[in-house]
Structure 1
Amino acid sequence: MSEVVALQGYMGDGAEGSDERIEWLAETILRNRFLPAPPAENVFVGDGDFRLIGTEFLRHFVRLGGLRPEHRVLDIGSGIGRMAVPLTQYLDPETASYEGIDPVREGVDWCSETVSPVYPNFRFRHLDIAHDVYNPAGRIKGEELRLPFDDAAFDFILMVSVATHLPAVEIGSYTREIARVLAPGGRLFLSAFVMDESARTQTEGRDARLGFTPAGEGPEWYANPEAPLGAVAFEDGFIDDVLQRAGLAIRRKSLGHWRGRQAAHYQDVFVAEKGGEEA
Protein backbone atom coordinates (compact mmCIF):
# COMPACT_ATOMS: atom_id res chain seq x y z
CA MET A 1 0.00 0.00 0.00
CA SER A 2 1.19 3.57 -0.65
CA GLU A 3 2.70 5.43 2.26
CA VAL A 4 0.66 8.57 1.79
CA VAL A 5 -2.64 9.08 0.03
CA ALA A 6 -3.06 12.75 -0.90
CA LEU A 7 -5.59 14.59 1.25
CA GLN A 8 -8.06 15.93 -1.28
CA GLY A 9 -9.98 19.09 -0.49
CA TYR A 10 -7.72 19.74 2.50
CA MET A 11 -9.56 21.99 4.93
CA GLY A 12 -6.38 23.31 6.50
CA ASP A 13 -5.76 25.88 3.78
CA GLY A 14 -8.15 28.42 5.35
CA ALA A 15 -7.25 31.03 7.93
CA GLU A 16 -8.32 28.85 10.85
CA GLY A 17 -6.11 25.99 9.72
CA SER A 18 -3.04 27.90 8.62
CA ASP A 19 0.31 26.72 9.95
CA GLU A 20 0.93 30.10 11.52
CA ARG A 21 -2.35 30.15 13.42
CA ILE A 22 -2.23 26.58 14.66
CA GLU A 23 1.40 26.96 15.73
CA TRP A 24 0.55 30.13 17.63
CA LEU A 25 -2.38 28.38 19.29
CA ALA A 26 -0.27 25.35 20.20
CA GLU A 27 2.35 27.52 21.88
CA THR A 28 -0.37 29.41 23.73
CA ILE A 29 -1.87 26.17 25.03
CA LEU A 30 1.49 24.92 26.23
CA ARG A 31 2.04 28.15 28.18
CA ASN A 32 -1.47 28.33 29.66
CA ARG A 33 -1.07 27.28 33.28
CA PHE A 34 -4.81 27.59 33.92
CA LEU A 35 -5.85 24.71 31.66
CA PRO A 36 -6.90 21.60 33.61
CA ALA A 37 -4.53 18.66 33.91
CA PRO A 38 -4.99 15.49 35.96
CA PRO A 39 -2.43 14.41 38.54
CA ALA A 40 0.26 12.36 36.83
CA GLU A 41 -0.63 9.28 38.86
CA ASN A 42 -4.19 9.37 37.47
CA VAL A 43 -3.16 9.22 33.81
CA PHE A 44 -4.03 5.59 33.11
CA VAL A 45 -3.27 5.42 29.39
CA GLY A 46 -0.36 6.68 27.30
CA ASP A 47 2.98 8.02 28.41
CA GLY A 48 4.88 11.28 28.04
CA ASP A 49 3.81 14.81 28.87
CA PHE A 50 -0.01 15.14 29.08
CA ARG A 51 -0.26 18.67 27.68
CA LEU A 52 2.54 18.29 25.12
CA ILE A 53 1.11 15.14 23.53
CA GLY A 54 -2.43 16.51 23.43
CA THR A 55 -1.20 19.67 21.74
CA GLU A 56 0.83 17.67 19.24
CA PHE A 57 -2.32 15.80 18.24
CA LEU A 58 -4.26 19.04 17.91
CA ARG A 59 -1.74 20.04 15.25
CA HIS A 60 -2.26 16.69 13.51
CA PHE A 61 -6.06 16.94 13.66
CA VAL A 62 -5.93 20.31 11.90
CA ARG A 63 -3.02 19.79 9.50
CA LEU A 64 -3.58 16.15 8.55
CA GLY A 65 -7.27 15.69 9.24
CA GLY A 66 -8.79 19.03 8.33
CA LEU A 67 -10.47 19.67 11.69
CA ARG A 68 -12.33 23.01 11.74
CA PRO A 69 -13.31 25.18 14.74
CA GLU A 70 -17.03 24.71 14.03
CA HIS A 71 -16.99 20.90 13.87
CA ARG A 72 -19.05 18.53 15.98
CA VAL A 73 -16.41 16.17 17.39
CA LEU A 74 -16.65 12.66 18.81
CA ASP A 75 -13.62 11.35 20.72
CA ILE A 76 -13.74 7.55 20.98
CA GLY A 77 -11.47 6.60 23.85
CA SER A 78 -11.40 10.06 25.44
CA GLY A 79 -9.51 8.69 28.46
CA ILE A 80 -8.71 11.38 30.99
CA GLY A 81 -8.94 14.29 28.56
CA ARG A 82 -5.57 14.30 26.83
CA MET A 83 -7.14 15.25 23.49
CA ALA A 84 -10.07 17.17 24.95
CA VAL A 85 -8.12 19.79 26.90
CA PRO A 86 -6.27 21.31 23.89
CA LEU A 87 -9.48 21.10 21.84
CA THR A 88 -11.21 23.40 24.35
CA GLN A 89 -8.98 26.15 23.00
CA TYR A 90 -9.66 25.39 19.33
CA LEU A 91 -13.33 24.45 18.99
CA ASP A 92 -15.76 27.38 18.80
CA PRO A 93 -17.91 27.36 21.97
CA GLU A 94 -20.85 28.85 20.05
CA THR A 95 -20.95 26.48 17.08
CA ALA A 96 -18.89 23.38 17.87
CA SER A 97 -19.48 20.48 20.23
CA TYR A 98 -17.40 17.68 21.68
CA GLU A 99 -18.53 14.28 22.97
CA GLY A 100 -16.05 11.96 24.65
CA ILE A 101 -16.73 8.30 25.42
CA ASP A 102 -14.53 5.87 27.32
CA PRO A 103 -14.84 2.53 29.16
CA VAL A 104 -12.86 3.76 32.18
CA ARG A 105 -15.25 5.53 34.52
CA GLU A 106 -12.54 7.32 36.50
CA GLY A 107 -11.37 9.21 33.40
CA VAL A 108 -14.92 10.12 32.41
CA ASP A 109 -15.67 11.36 35.93
CA TRP A 110 -12.55 13.54 36.06
CA CYS A 111 -13.36 15.12 32.70
CA SER A 112 -17.02 15.66 33.61
CA GLU A 113 -16.09 17.28 36.91
CA THR A 114 -13.12 19.32 35.67
CA VAL A 115 -13.57 20.14 31.98
CA SER A 116 -17.34 20.31 31.40
CA PRO A 117 -18.17 22.95 34.06
CA VAL A 118 -15.79 25.41 32.35
CA TYR A 119 -16.48 24.27 28.78
CA PRO A 120 -20.17 23.23 28.67
CA ASN A 121 -20.01 22.24 24.99
CA PHE A 122 -17.65 19.43 26.10
CA ARG A 123 -19.51 16.39 27.39
CA PHE A 124 -18.23 13.00 28.52
CA ARG A 125 -19.97 9.70 29.09
CA HIS A 126 -19.04 6.26 30.30
CA LEU A 127 -19.62 3.45 27.80
CA ASP A 128 -19.30 0.09 29.53
CA ILE A 129 -17.42 -1.73 26.76
CA ALA A 130 -15.56 -4.82 27.89
CA HIS A 131 -11.79 -4.71 27.45
CA ASP A 132 -9.26 -7.14 28.91
CA VAL A 133 -6.93 -4.32 30.00
CA TYR A 134 -9.08 -1.25 30.66
CA ASN A 135 -12.51 -2.60 31.61
CA PRO A 136 -12.49 -6.38 32.07
CA ALA A 137 -15.90 -6.43 33.78
CA GLY A 138 -17.61 -4.40 31.05
CA ARG A 139 -21.06 -5.63 30.01
CA ILE A 140 -20.94 -4.59 26.30
CA LYS A 141 -18.92 -6.75 23.93
CA GLY A 142 -16.79 -4.76 21.54
CA GLU A 143 -18.10 -6.63 18.50
CA GLU A 144 -21.65 -5.62 19.55
CA LEU A 145 -20.82 -1.92 19.92
CA ARG A 146 -23.62 0.57 19.32
CA LEU A 147 -22.61 4.20 19.78
CA PRO A 148 -25.22 6.15 21.78
CA PHE A 149 -25.63 8.87 19.15
CA ASP A 150 -27.95 9.63 16.24
CA ASP A 151 -27.06 9.04 12.62
CA ALA A 152 -24.93 11.77 11.00
CA ALA A 153 -24.35 13.48 14.36
CA PHE A 154 -20.65 14.34 13.91
CA ASP A 155 -18.31 16.08 11.48
CA PHE A 156 -15.03 14.75 12.89
CA ILE A 157 -14.29 11.59 14.88
CA LEU A 158 -11.08 10.86 16.78
CA MET A 159 -9.91 7.32 17.42
CA VAL A 160 -6.42 7.86 18.82
CA SER A 161 -4.58 4.91 20.41
CA VAL A 162 -7.75 2.81 20.38
CA ALA A 163 -7.20 0.49 17.41
CA THR A 164 -3.77 -0.17 18.94
CA HIS A 165 -5.57 -2.00 21.78
CA LEU A 166 -8.35 -3.82 19.92
CA PRO A 167 -8.66 -7.27 18.36
CA ALA A 168 -9.39 -7.39 14.64
CA VAL A 169 -12.97 -8.60 15.16
CA GLU A 170 -13.84 -5.35 16.95
CA ILE A 171 -12.31 -2.94 14.42
CA GLY A 172 -15.13 -3.61 11.98
CA SER A 173 -17.78 -2.91 14.61
CA TYR A 174 -16.21 0.43 15.46
CA THR A 175 -15.83 1.55 11.85
CA ARG A 176 -19.40 0.57 10.93
CA GLU A 177 -20.73 2.64 13.83
CA ILE A 178 -18.39 5.51 12.97
CA ALA A 179 -19.72 5.53 9.42
CA ARG A 180 -23.27 5.66 10.78
CA VAL A 181 -22.73 8.63 13.10
CA LEU A 182 -20.55 10.62 10.68
CA ALA A 183 -22.32 13.26 8.61
CA PRO A 184 -21.75 13.16 4.84
CA GLY A 185 -18.31 14.62 4.20
CA GLY A 186 -17.32 13.99 7.83
CA ARG A 187 -13.91 12.55 8.65
CA LEU A 188 -12.36 9.94 10.90
CA PHE A 189 -8.84 10.43 12.28
CA LEU A 190 -7.53 7.01 13.36
CA SER A 191 -4.10 6.02 14.65
CA ALA A 192 -2.71 2.49 14.46
CA PHE A 193 0.37 0.34 14.11
CA VAL A 194 0.68 -0.97 10.53
CA MET A 195 2.95 -3.91 9.74
CA ASP A 196 4.25 -2.86 6.36
CA GLU A 197 7.56 -4.09 4.95
CA SER A 198 9.63 -1.49 6.81
CA ALA A 199 7.95 -2.38 10.11
CA ARG A 200 8.76 -6.03 9.52
CA THR A 201 12.41 -5.56 8.60
CA GLN A 202 13.78 -2.33 10.07
CA THR A 203 15.35 -2.50 13.52
CA GLU A 204 17.61 0.57 13.68
CA GLY A 205 15.93 3.44 15.50
CA ARG A 206 12.77 1.44 16.19
CA ASP A 207 10.84 1.69 19.46
CA ALA A 208 12.27 -1.29 21.35
CA ARG A 209 8.95 -1.85 23.14
CA LEU A 210 7.25 -2.72 19.86
CA GLY A 211 8.90 -5.91 18.70
CA PHE A 212 5.66 -7.24 17.25
CA THR A 213 5.19 -10.93 16.48
CA PRO A 214 2.32 -12.40 14.44
CA ALA A 215 -0.61 -13.67 16.47
CA GLY A 216 -1.41 -16.60 14.19
CA GLU A 217 -3.84 -16.83 11.31
CA GLY A 218 -5.43 -13.39 11.80
CA PRO A 219 -4.08 -9.95 10.86
CA GLU A 220 -2.99 -9.07 14.41
CA TRP A 221 0.59 -8.76 15.62
CA TYR A 222 1.23 -8.48 19.38
CA ALA A 223 4.04 -6.66 21.15
CA ASN A 224 3.55 -8.99 24.12
CA PRO A 225 1.67 -12.25 23.42
CA GLU A 226 1.10 -12.70 27.16
CA ALA A 227 -0.84 -9.40 27.25
CA PRO A 228 -2.01 -9.21 23.64
CA LEU A 229 -4.17 -6.09 23.87
CA GLY A 230 -1.38 -4.08 25.47
CA ALA A 231 -0.21 -3.11 21.94
CA VAL A 232 -1.68 -4.49 18.72
CA ALA A 233 -0.48 -4.00 15.15
CA PHE A 234 -2.23 -5.11 11.98
CA GLU A 235 -1.08 -6.43 8.63
CA ASP A 236 -0.74 -3.67 6.07
CA GLY A 237 -4.01 -3.41 4.16
CA PHE A 238 -6.27 -4.69 6.93
CA ILE A 239 -7.37 -1.31 8.26
CA ASP A 240 -7.62 0.04 4.71
CA ASP A 241 -10.06 -2.74 3.82
CA VAL A 242 -12.10 -2.34 6.99
CA LEU A 243 -12.52 1.39 6.42
CA GLN A 244 -13.53 0.92 2.81
CA ARG A 245 -16.04 -1.83 3.67
CA ALA A 246 -17.63 0.61 6.11
CA GLY A 247 -18.06 3.12 3.29
CA LEU A 248 -15.21 5.40 4.32
CA ALA A 249 -12.82 6.61 1.63
CA ILE A 250 -9.17 6.92 2.68
CA ARG A 251 -7.94 10.47 2.20
CA ARG A 252 -4.60 10.12 3.95
CA LYS A 253 -2.44 7.25 5.08
CA SER A 254 0.82 8.34 6.70
CA LEU A 255 3.28 6.02 8.40
CA GLY A 256 4.76 6.99 11.78
CA HIS A 257 8.25 6.98 13.26
CA TRP A 258 7.67 4.15 15.77
CA ARG A 259 9.15 1.84 13.11
CA GLY A 260 12.46 3.78 13.03
CA ARG A 261 11.94 6.02 10.03
CA GLN A 262 11.55 9.78 9.91
CA ALA A 263 7.98 11.01 10.25
CA ALA A 264 6.06 13.90 11.81
CA HIS A 265 4.06 11.61 14.11
CA TYR A 266 4.67 8.47 16.17
CA GLN A 267 1.81 6.11 15.29
CA ASP A 268 0.51 5.51 11.79
CA VAL A 269 -2.36 7.79 10.79
CA PHE A 270 -5.43 7.24 8.63
CA VAL A 271 -7.85 9.99 7.64
CA ALA A 272 -11.03 8.61 6.08
CA GLU A 273 -14.09 10.44 4.79
CA LYS A 274 -17.74 9.51 4.52
CA GLY A 275 -19.39 10.02 1.19
CA GLY A 276 -16.40 10.57 -1.10
CA GLU A 277 -14.71 8.53 -3.79
CA GLU A 278 -11.44 6.88 -2.84
CA ALA A 279 -8.36 8.98 -3.66
Structure 2
Amino acid sequence: MDLWDRVRGREHPLLPPRRYRRFIGNGDFLKVGREITAYMRDELGMGPGHDVLDAGCGAGRIAVPLTDVLTEGSYLGFDIVPHAIDWCGRTITPRHPNFRFEHVDIHQEIYNPEGTLSSADFRFPAEDAAFDIAALIGLISHLRPAEMENYLAESARVLRPGGQCFATAYLVDDAVAANIVRGETAFSFTHDHGDYYVHSETEPTYAIAYRLEHILSVAARHGLRMRRDPSPGTWGVSTRRPASMDLLVLERA
Protein backbone atom coordinates (compact mmCIF):
# COMPACT_ATOMS: atom_id res chain seq x y z
CA MET A 1 0.00 0.00 0.00
CA ASP A 2 2.91 2.37 0.70
CA LEU A 3 4.30 1.61 -2.76
CA TRP A 4 0.93 2.29 -4.34
CA ASP A 5 0.74 5.61 -2.48
CA ARG A 6 4.14 6.58 -3.87
CA VAL A 7 3.10 5.66 -7.40
CA ARG A 8 -0.08 7.73 -7.16
CA GLY A 9 1.58 10.61 -5.35
CA ARG A 10 0.71 11.44 -1.79
CA GLU A 11 -1.83 14.06 -0.84
CA HIS A 12 0.61 15.77 1.54
CA PRO A 13 4.44 15.68 1.57
CA LEU A 14 4.41 15.02 5.33
CA LEU A 15 1.92 12.14 5.26
CA PRO A 16 3.67 9.20 6.93
CA PRO A 17 3.67 5.69 5.44
CA ARG A 18 0.63 3.56 6.23
CA ARG A 19 2.69 1.20 8.36
CA TYR A 20 3.42 4.10 10.74
CA ARG A 21 -0.19 5.25 10.84
CA ARG A 22 -1.84 1.94 11.73
CA PHE A 23 -1.27 2.16 15.51
CA ILE A 24 -2.54 5.73 15.88
CA GLY A 25 -6.29 5.14 15.76
CA ASN A 26 -9.23 5.19 13.42
CA GLY A 27 -10.11 7.84 10.89
CA ASP A 28 -8.34 9.69 8.11
CA PHE A 29 -4.88 10.68 9.36
CA LEU A 30 -4.81 14.18 7.88
CA LYS A 31 -8.50 14.94 8.40
CA VAL A 32 -8.48 13.99 12.08
CA GLY A 33 -5.24 15.86 12.67
CA ARG A 34 -6.63 19.00 11.07
CA GLU A 35 -9.83 18.79 13.12
CA ILE A 36 -7.86 18.51 16.36
CA THR A 37 -5.61 21.39 15.35
CA ALA A 38 -8.61 23.54 14.43
CA TYR A 39 -10.08 22.92 17.89
CA MET A 40 -6.77 23.90 19.50
CA ARG A 41 -6.68 27.09 17.48
CA ASP A 42 -10.35 28.08 17.87
CA GLU A 43 -11.07 26.92 21.43
CA LEU A 44 -7.65 27.17 23.11
CA GLY A 45 -6.55 30.34 21.32
CA MET A 46 -3.40 28.68 20.00
CA GLY A 47 -1.43 31.03 17.78
CA PRO A 48 1.77 31.18 15.71
CA GLY A 49 4.00 32.07 18.68
CA HIS A 50 2.87 29.38 21.10
CA ASP A 51 5.00 26.53 22.40
CA VAL A 52 3.26 23.14 22.25
CA LEU A 53 4.19 19.82 23.85
CA ASP A 54 2.60 16.72 22.30
CA ALA A 55 2.77 13.70 24.62
CA GLY A 56 2.31 10.47 22.69
CA CYS A 57 2.72 12.20 19.34
CA GLY A 58 2.82 9.00 17.29
CA ALA A 59 3.74 9.59 13.66
CA GLY A 60 2.84 13.28 13.84
CA ARG A 61 -0.94 13.35 13.41
CA ILE A 62 -1.22 16.82 14.93
CA ALA A 63 2.39 17.80 14.28
CA VAL A 64 1.80 17.80 10.52
CA PRO A 65 -1.08 20.35 10.53
CA LEU A 66 0.61 22.31 13.33
CA THR A 67 3.50 23.09 10.97
CA ASP A 68 1.12 25.52 9.26
CA VAL A 69 0.24 27.20 12.58
CA LEU A 70 3.35 27.33 14.80
CA THR A 71 5.43 29.49 12.52
CA GLU A 72 7.10 31.45 15.35
CA GLY A 73 6.71 29.14 18.35
CA SER A 74 7.95 25.63 18.95
CA TYR A 75 6.78 22.03 19.14
CA LEU A 76 8.10 19.06 21.07
CA GLY A 77 6.61 15.62 20.48
CA PHE A 78 7.59 12.40 22.20
CA ASP A 79 6.42 8.84 21.85
CA ILE A 80 7.30 5.27 22.80
CA VAL A 81 7.31 3.93 19.20
CA PRO A 82 10.85 4.44 17.84
CA HIS A 83 10.16 4.09 14.12
CA ALA A 84 7.43 6.75 14.30
CA ILE A 85 9.77 9.19 16.03
CA ASP A 86 12.57 8.38 13.58
CA TRP A 87 10.28 9.13 10.66
CA CYS A 88 9.10 12.43 12.15
CA GLY A 89 12.68 13.49 12.88
CA ARG A 90 13.82 12.65 9.36
CA THR A 91 10.86 14.16 7.56
CA ILE A 92 9.32 16.99 9.57
CA THR A 93 12.26 18.54 11.46
CA PRO A 94 14.42 19.28 8.36
CA ARG A 95 11.54 21.25 6.87
CA HIS A 96 10.50 22.81 10.19
CA PRO A 97 13.48 23.14 12.56
CA ASN A 98 11.26 24.44 15.39
CA PHE A 99 9.66 20.97 15.54
CA ARG A 100 11.54 18.41 17.65
CA PHE A 101 10.81 14.76 18.37
CA GLU A 102 12.13 12.44 21.07
CA HIS A 103 11.79 8.73 21.65
CA VAL A 104 11.05 7.71 25.26
CA ASP A 105 11.55 4.05 26.13
CA ILE A 106 8.45 3.59 28.29
CA HIS A 107 7.18 0.08 28.87
CA GLN A 108 3.74 -0.50 27.37
CA GLU A 109 2.27 -3.96 26.89
CA ILE A 110 0.90 -3.34 23.40
CA TYR A 111 3.14 -0.71 21.77
CA ASN A 112 6.51 -1.10 23.52
CA PRO A 113 6.64 -4.31 25.61
CA GLU A 114 10.44 -4.17 25.91
CA GLY A 115 10.49 -0.64 27.29
CA THR A 116 12.57 0.08 30.40
CA LEU A 117 10.81 3.16 31.86
CA SER A 118 7.55 3.42 33.78
CA SER A 119 4.70 5.79 32.90
CA ALA A 120 3.96 6.14 36.61
CA ASP A 121 7.17 8.06 37.37
CA PHE A 122 8.39 9.12 33.93
CA ARG A 123 9.53 12.74 33.61
CA PHE A 124 8.60 14.57 30.42
CA PRO A 125 11.73 15.56 28.43
CA ALA A 126 11.05 19.26 29.02
CA GLU A 127 11.91 22.07 31.40
CA ASP A 128 9.51 23.56 33.93
CA ALA A 129 7.04 26.18 32.65
CA ALA A 130 8.28 25.89 29.07
CA PHE A 131 5.00 25.42 27.18
CA ASP A 132 1.67 27.11 26.56
CA ILE A 133 -0.17 23.92 25.63
CA ALA A 134 0.34 20.29 26.58
CA ALA A 135 -1.60 17.90 24.34
CA LEU A 136 -2.55 14.40 25.51
CA ILE A 137 -4.37 13.13 22.45
CA GLY A 138 -5.63 9.54 22.69
CA LEU A 139 -3.27 8.93 25.59
CA ILE A 140 -5.27 8.89 28.83
CA SER A 141 -7.28 5.95 27.51
CA HIS A 142 -4.10 3.83 27.72
CA LEU A 143 -2.94 4.96 31.18
CA ARG A 144 -3.64 3.24 34.49
CA PRO A 145 -4.59 5.51 37.42
CA ALA A 146 -1.05 6.11 38.76
CA GLU A 147 0.19 6.67 35.21
CA MET A 148 -2.63 9.07 34.42
CA GLU A 149 -1.86 11.07 37.56
CA ASN A 150 1.80 11.31 36.66
CA TYR A 151 1.01 12.55 33.16
CA LEU A 152 -1.30 15.24 34.53
CA ALA A 153 1.33 16.21 37.10
CA GLU A 154 3.99 16.42 34.41
CA SER A 155 1.69 18.43 32.16
CA ALA A 156 1.19 20.91 35.00
CA ARG A 157 4.95 21.09 35.59
CA VAL A 158 5.84 21.96 32.00
CA LEU A 159 2.98 24.45 31.52
CA ARG A 160 3.33 28.15 32.15
CA PRO A 161 0.76 29.82 34.44
CA GLY A 162 -2.45 30.03 32.43
CA GLY A 163 -1.25 27.30 30.09
CA GLN A 164 -3.67 24.62 28.98
CA CYS A 165 -3.66 20.84 29.02
CA PHE A 166 -5.78 19.54 26.16
CA ALA A 167 -6.76 15.88 26.39
CA THR A 168 -9.03 13.41 24.67
CA ALA A 169 -10.41 10.64 26.87
CA TYR A 170 -13.30 8.33 27.59
CA LEU A 171 -15.06 10.32 30.31
CA VAL A 172 -17.81 8.74 32.39
CA ASP A 173 -20.64 10.54 34.18
CA ASP A 174 -23.75 8.91 35.63
CA ALA A 175 -25.56 8.84 32.29
CA VAL A 176 -22.64 7.24 30.46
CA ALA A 177 -22.15 4.79 33.34
CA ALA A 178 -25.75 3.65 32.87
CA ASN A 179 -25.14 3.26 29.13
CA ILE A 180 -22.06 1.14 29.86
CA VAL A 181 -24.11 -1.21 32.04
CA ARG A 182 -26.76 -1.52 29.31
CA GLY A 183 -24.17 -2.13 26.59
CA GLU A 184 -25.19 1.05 24.79
CA THR A 185 -21.72 2.51 24.22
CA ALA A 186 -19.44 2.19 21.21
CA PHE A 187 -16.79 0.43 23.33
CA SER A 188 -17.48 -2.00 26.13
CA PHE A 189 -16.06 -1.17 29.56
CA THR A 190 -17.57 -4.00 31.56
CA HIS A 191 -14.93 -4.09 34.33
CA ASP A 192 -15.92 -1.38 36.82
CA HIS A 193 -13.18 -0.31 39.26
CA GLY A 194 -15.10 2.60 40.75
CA ASP A 195 -13.07 5.56 39.51
CA TYR A 196 -12.32 3.92 36.19
CA TYR A 197 -13.41 1.15 33.82
CA VAL A 198 -11.31 -1.18 31.68
CA HIS A 199 -12.24 -2.95 28.49
CA SER A 200 -10.14 -6.02 29.28
CA GLU A 201 -8.68 -7.26 32.57
CA THR A 202 -5.99 -9.20 30.70
CA GLU A 203 -4.98 -6.14 28.63
CA PRO A 204 -6.10 -3.21 30.80
CA THR A 205 -4.18 -0.56 28.87
CA TYR A 206 -6.00 -1.43 25.65
CA ALA A 207 -8.80 0.98 26.65
CA ILE A 208 -9.55 2.72 29.95
CA ALA A 209 -12.45 5.06 30.74
CA TYR A 210 -12.35 7.42 33.72
CA ARG A 211 -14.98 9.01 35.90
CA LEU A 212 -14.82 12.73 35.15
CA GLU A 213 -14.87 13.67 38.82
CA HIS A 214 -11.85 11.44 39.45
CA ILE A 215 -9.79 13.08 36.71
CA LEU A 216 -10.75 16.53 37.99
CA SER A 217 -9.78 15.58 41.54
CA VAL A 218 -6.40 14.31 40.36
CA ALA A 219 -5.89 17.41 38.21
CA ALA A 220 -6.69 19.73 41.12
CA ARG A 221 -3.94 18.14 43.23
CA HIS A 222 -1.45 19.36 40.65
CA GLY A 223 -2.78 22.84 40.05
CA LEU A 224 -4.97 22.09 37.04
CA ARG A 225 -8.60 23.15 36.89
CA MET A 226 -11.29 22.50 34.31
CA ARG A 227 -11.53 25.51 32.05
CA ARG A 228 -14.89 24.59 30.53
CA ASP A 229 -17.31 21.70 30.42
CA PRO A 230 -15.91 18.83 28.36
CA SER A 231 -17.01 18.57 24.74
CA PRO A 232 -18.71 15.18 24.59
CA GLY A 233 -17.80 12.66 21.95
CA THR A 234 -20.10 9.99 20.58
CA TRP A 235 -18.60 6.85 22.15
CA GLY A 236 -20.65 7.03 25.37
CA VAL A 237 -24.10 7.67 23.91
CA SER A 238 -24.27 5.35 20.91
CA THR A 239 -23.01 1.98 19.72
CA ARG A 240 -22.29 3.42 16.29
CA ARG A 241 -18.72 3.39 15.02
CA PRO A 242 -16.44 5.10 14.27
CA ALA A 243 -16.91 6.93 17.55
CA SER A 244 -15.20 10.01 18.90
CA MET A 245 -13.69 10.59 22.33
CA ASP A 246 -14.52 13.39 24.75
CA LEU A 247 -12.46 16.59 24.78
CA LEU A 248 -11.18 18.00 28.06
CA VAL A 249 -9.37 21.31 28.65
CA LEU A 250 -7.55 21.91 31.94
CA GLU A 251 -5.87 25.19 32.83
CA ARG A 252 -2.71 25.70 34.90
CA ALA A 253 -3.32 27.99 37.85
Which TM class, normalised by the smaller chain length?
A: 0.7 to 0.9
Give the equivalent residue in structure 2 for 1:273. Answer: 251
99, 102, 109: which one aligns with 1:125 = 102
148, 161, 168: which one aligns with 1:184 = 161
184, 199, 224: which one aligns with 2:200 = 224
1: CA distance between counterparts of 2:213 and 2:191? 15
240, 244, 247: which one aligns with 2:220 = 244
Shift of 1:227: 1.9
Give the equivalent residue in structure 2 for 1:13. Answer: none
Give the equivalent residue in structure 1 for 2:134. Answer: 157
Shift of 1:187: 0.8
Give the equivalent residue in structure 1 for 2:65. Answer: 86
2: CA distance between counterparts of 1:143 and 1:137? 16
1:113 is aligned to 2:90: yes
Contact 2:191 2:200 in 1 (8 A): no
Structure 2-normalised TM-score?
0.87
Give the equivalent residue in structure 2 for 1:256. Answer: 233
1:175 is aligned to 2:142: no
Contact 1:179 1:246 in 2 (8 A): yes
Unaligned runs of 5+ in 1: 1-31
Moved over 3 A (4+): 32-35, 202-208
Residues 9-56 of structure 1 deviation map (CA, whole Å, 9 limit, x = unaligned): xxxxxxxxxxxxxxxxxxxxxxx9343111223212212111011011
2: CA distance between counterparts of 1:240 and 1:64? 20
**Cα RMSD, aligned residues only:** 2.0
Identity rate, percent: 38
2: CA distance between counterparts of 1:57 and 1:242? 24
Shift of 1:89: 0.9
Give the equivalent residue in structure 2 for 1:46. Answer: 25
Output the amino acid matched with 1:42: Y
1:76 is aligned to 2:55: yes
Work out the number of aligned pairs and report it. Answer: 237
1:211 is aligned to 2:188: yes
Q: Quick one: higher RCO (CA 8 Å, sep 6+), 1 or 2?
A: 1
2: CA distance between counterparts of 1:206 and 1:89? 39
78, 94, 100: which one aligns with 1:101 = 78
1:56-67 paired onto structure 2 within 5 Å: 56-67=35-46
Shift of 1:207: 5.1
Structure 1-normalised TM-score?
0.80
Contact 2:89 2:101 in 1 (8 A): yes
Residues 205 and 121 of structure 1, relative CA distance in 2, 3 Å threshold? farther
Unaligned runs of 5+ in 2: 1-9
Contact 1:35 1:85 in 2 (8 A): no
SS in 2 for 1:243: helix
Contact 1:206 1:258 in 2 (8 A): no
Range 194-203 or range 235-244, more displaced: 194-203
2: CA distance between counterparts of 1:42 and 1:58? 20
2: CA distance between counterparts of 1:63 and 1:230? 31
2: CA distance between counterparts of 1:178 and 1:201? 31
Contact 1:77 1:159 in 2 (8 A): yes
Shift of 1:78: 0.5
Contact 2:179 2:185 in 1 (8 A): no
Give the equivalent residue in structure 2 for 1:140. Answer: 117
1:37 is aligned to 2:12: no
